[in-house]
Amino acid sequence: MWKTGLLFIATAIAEIVGCFLPYLWLRKSGPVWLLLPAAASLALFVWLLTLHPAASGRVYAAYGGVYVATALVWLRVVDGIKLSTLDWTGAAIALCGMAVIASGWSRG
């Protein structure tokens, strides 16, 4: 389960970076060359999704919970926004959903 969790976190970071860099270009007047590492990060994201040990639909469903938690950590660390109790509660609920889905992977 730890390996899967770490793989989900790496997958989420690759997706967030792949989306954040074009955001910097479009909304924050960043240089256009940011699109190159963004494309590479999104390609890494897709490749990482293929490494997960379940059917794609289950992976996407479970991944959503980890993405929510990772995006909130990104909000705190990169954007410097203090997280509320509701942010933490929502992340915990999303991660519980991920755990329920992932626990059934070996059952079919």
Q: What is the pLDDT of residues 63-81, one digit of tens each?
A: 899 999 999 999 999 999 9
Residue with tokens 């390996």: 3
Average pLDDT, the chain: 91
Instruction: Give percent of the chain above pLDDT 90.
Output: 69
Burial class (CB in 10 A: 0-12, 13-18, 19+), 49: middle
67 contacts: CB under 8 Å, gap ≥ 6: 12, 15, 16
CA 38, CA 24: separation in Å to the nearest integer? 10
Greater model confidence, 56 or 7: 7
What separation, in Å, do the N-terminal and C-terminal C-alpha atoms of the chain show? 16
pTM of the model as a whole: 0.86
